[in-house]
Structure 1
Amino acid sequence: MEKIKRKVIGEPLKSSQIKHEKFSIFRGLPILSSDAISSVAYACEEILIVLIPVMGILSYKYLLHVTFAIIALLCILIFSYRQTIDSYPNGGGSYIVSRENLGVMPSLLAGASLTTDYILTVAVSSTAGVAAITSAFPSLLEFRVPLTLLIILIMTIGNLRGIRDSAKIFSIPTYFFLFITLLMIGVGIIKYLIFGYVPTEAVKTQMASTAGDMTLFLFLRAFAAGCTALTGIEAVSDGVANFKAPATKNAKRVLGLLFAIVVIIFGGVSYLSTIYHTSAGGDRTVISQIAGQVFGQNSILFFVMQFATTLILIMAANTAFSDFPLLLSFIARDGFAPRQFAKRGDRLSFSNGIILLAVSASILVIIFKGENHLMLPLYAIGVFISFTLSQSGMVMRWVRTKAPGWRHKAFINGFGATITFITLIVISFVKFQHGAWVVIILIPSVMLVMKRIKRHYTKVARQLSLDNNYFPVFNSNAAKRFIVPVGSLNEAVIKTINYAKCLSDDITAFHASTDEEETARLKEKWDKYEMGIPLVIRTVDYREVVNPLVEFIENGNFRQSKKDMVTVVIPQFNAEKWWGNILHNQTAMFLRTTLLKRRNIAVISVPFIIENDYASGNMEKVMEEYTDKDCFKAKNNCCDKQDETQETNKLNN
């Protein structure tokens, strides 16, 4: 398994190499901006899904109005996050900004919101990528769930290889999508304005059946649906620490480039949807329909566009793989998530966070059967909660610090907080019955789990603290009280007893008798090989050995006080082949699990490796080694006085 891991993930990196695992502008733009860039692949379609059933052919008139409103909100967010980057050069995500300026509960709300958002990002982006594939190859529709899971697996492996390797692997597809999309927008506009292309009749007839009136509520519904185009904007400010020096300048440049790209592509695709009259909600995506009319339905460029769209949607998932583990590491360092998520893996990535993200997203894909339209209503709420908290936190920071120019900076962040909060209310109201209620329940549940984890760590720290003024008194006699559980007498038990003799002279062997014949054979061997330590036998009626051992230890006759330390030394079978362990009962594991829950009981496992001779069936040769009484006697004297004297001399020297 280790060899396979090394081939797939790569060789471990030294901690000192972390400085090389940083993004340049060229690498950072595709990795941290792909989520926002990819949103154009489905944001326009989500707007049309709301408008077309009511407005019919008039939907295209109001599509651009909704698009302009979303771009205006994007502009506000970009200006706000530039200030966040300046203030938090080590990463200023909503969690950190809220923690430092708003308090614990708002920071947990931000952390829970971003956690659900990143998981949904992977699930939505990968399913949307598969939707692009099935638009070009409808025969693959029935395999969309396995295809989505395969994409998530590939993304997971790529990110486990580390920041630099993942950037090399995943940056090219983003630039490829930018090139082919700009080409499609340019050719599409020229084809319509200069060559007078008219949309196909098939598309026109889909729109002619209905024509209603635009209302404020309908506009807000369409605006809420299209706000999925704003997902991923925060990723750059979250990942400032991942940029090469000067990190702040590089991050702000990437944020500016991101703004320009989203405006051009989102605006361009919306305009093409207007002039080419694309439909929405069917088996073919809006991008697919536009590419089919611009490049030709069966042209090479059409299939290239579908391939590029698939790749950029997958890259959107990669944004979550870059930011979520980093966010989780911050939360874990504060004690609100398991500490394992704060540790870097072999390749200097937060591998535990990457694996958690992949597993969680895969579960969502399976639950929703690979249908991204069902998950999108859950998507934007977490995003706008984090937007609102981040901007509000920055307002409090400016008011508190009163840095130069704080008034106009506070106004920018305050205006952003107000707009994003209003948008959050609209999205929550509009999408509540479409599934948004799940997120409204899920986020507080995640916050509750975080608080429980923190409570556990606080309790542990309090009990371990030396401030309790409690120092256990060492008792040399009580501390050397050892017990060896014995089922039968064999080489593993002999090795365990010998090890115990190296540590203490006060050793007791314990046997829980469930079979009279087996116990009789044990007594016979015990006397025959002169083990030299007492054997205590307890008859049990219910064929279990754990509780009788615990009862014997707790018995007042064995130890004078419950504060006396008792060490249980357990023989542990380990096969060289992994499947060999399945063939043995797990008594040692059950004993260890139960005993470690008791105060003043220590557990030592003495491994006994079952070598190839056992596995290959040469049992006669092995048994001959250990059936001689002299052999047992020889092995039973590993810690004689001479050895102890030699060891003492070595230590003194």
Structure 2
Amino acid sequence: LLARDNYLPHVFALKADRQVHRHGVLALALVSAALLVFSGGDTNTLVPLFAIGVFVGFTIAQVGMVRHWRLERGKGRLGKALLNGFGAVLTGVATVVVTASKFTEGAWLIVVALPLLVAAFGAVHRAYGRIGERLGLGRIPEAPHRDRSLVIVPVSTLSRLTSEALTAAASLGDEVRAVTVCYPDPEDRTQLHALERAWAEWDPGVPLVRLSCERRSLGRPIAAYVREVAAGEPATRVTLLIPETEPERLWQRLLQNQRGAVVAHAVRRETDAVICRLRFRVL
């Protein structure tokens, strides 16, 4: 409910295939485990924490009902408001008594945690408010239109994955460019020349752009090139298509070099380009 009302990350409102709020359950499990470790498994320490949380919740709920009856114009609202007000007084007094009597036995944790939680909820709510304002939620957006599109594909070698990536890029954009990063090392230059010769022999109809980099960085030169293209062609929609292999088994992901993740992180952080990660299944 808190996630639905923008007071917690929306991931906590998602349900798994079995209609269980998986992320909420996992978060509660971690917090519960931390409390068990903190208290040493002593229930005499945990019960007051539970009692204070319950009484605080009851007090807030009863006060909320009093406000509700004040705004309600129905019959008997005064008696209902008095009943809820009396309940709020009782639970409020119980909260103060339990907190004071058990303060040194662990109740201080609730006194510290509750204001921090409320502050965190408020920060999350304000963040979602700013995001909603930027996205124009609740307002009718402009009509969609078609921009000229340029798809940039990072390559390092020629393979079936390269061919699949360029085919997908040609289907997505009006123009396709392949880019490769070269370094000053003699071995890297030899590999670059071999790639350029193989590219010319293959002749896919897509230019291969060489990006020089003095330092052994992969993401930054590609991000710089994307920024340069976006600045020189402001009316063009730039898309970065990153080809990656999808291994047959989960453990085989440890064998991947993670170049795609490095490039995607750099371009996402430094540019507004659309990032598309093409998964090629290796079966």
Cα distance between partner residues in 1 of 2:135 and 2:251: 39
Query: Is structure 2 residue 222 aligned with structure 1 residue 549?
Result: yes
Partner of 2:177 in structure 1?
508
Query: Is structure 2 residue 8 aligned with structure 1 residue 337?
Result: yes
Cα distance between partner residues in 1 of 2:78 and 2:140: 51
Gaps of 5+ in 2: none
Tell whether the 8 Å contact from 2:226 to 2:271 is kept in structure 1 after alignment.
no
Partner of 1:222 in structure 2?
none
Partner of 1:495 in structure 2?
164
Cα distance between partner residues in 2 of 1:466 and 1:426: 45
Partner of 2:120 in structure 1?
449
Cα distance between partner residues in 2 of 1:570 and 1:400: 57
Partner of 1:568 in structure 2?
240
Paired amino acid for 2:12: F
How many aligned positions are there? 279
Query: Is structure 2 residue 68 aligned with structure 1 residue 397?
Result: yes
Alignment of 1:216-231 (within 5 A): none
Structure-2-length-normalised TM-score: 0.88
Alignment of 1:393-432 (within 5 A): 393-432=64-103
Which of 1 and 2 has greater Rg? 1
Partner of 2:210 in structure 1?
537
Cα distance between partner residues in 2 of 1:522 and 1:367: 59
Gaps of 5+ in 1: 1-329, 612-653
Paired amino acid for 2:259: T
SS at match of 2:18: coil
Instruction: Provide the aligned C-alpha RMSD in A.
Output: 2.4
Give the CA deviation at 1:370: 2.0
Give the CA deviation at 1:469: 8.3
Give the CA deviation at 1:552: 0.9
Cα distance between partner residues in 2 of 1:564 and 1:492: 26
Partner of 1:367 in structure 2?
38
Query: Is structure 2 residue 30 aligned with structure 1 residue 347?
Result: no
Give the CA deviation at 1:371: 2.2
Q: Residues 280-302 of structure 1, C-alpha deviation per residue, up to 9 Å, x if partnerless?
A: xxxxxxxxxxxxxxxxxxxxxxx
Paired amino acid for 1:594: A
Give the CA deviation at 1:473: 7.9
Query: Is structure 2 residue 22 aligned with structure 1 residue 358?
Result: no
SS at match of 2:3: helix
Tell whether the 8 Å contact from 1:563 to 1:600 is kept in structure 2 after alignment.
no
After superposition, the Cα gap between the structure-2 partners of 1:609 and 1:590, relative to the gap in structure 1 and judged at 3 Å, is same
After superposition, the Cα gap between the structure-2 partners of 1:561 and 1:455, relative to the gap in structure 1 and judged at 3 Å, is farther
Partner of 1:263 in structure 2?
none
Paired amino acid for 2:262: F
Structure-1-length-normalised TM-score: 0.40
Q: 2:280 aligns with which of 596, 599, 608?
A: 608
Cα distance between partner residues in 2 of 1:469 and 1:349: 34
After superposition, the Cα gap between the structure-2 partners of 1:405 and 1:599, relative to the gap in structure 1 and judged at 3 Å, is same
Partner of 2:54 in structure 1?
383
Paired amino acid for 1:404: K
Give the CA deviation at 1:482: 1.5
Tell whether the 8 Å contact from 1:554 to 1:562 is kept in structure 2 after alignment.
no
Alignment of 1:64-75 (within 5 A): none
Moved more, 530-539 or 348-357: 348-357
Give the CA deviation at 1:570: 1.1
Paired amino acid for 1:337: L
Cα distance between partner residues in 2 of 1:537 and 1:564: 21
Give the CA deviation at 1:362: 1.8
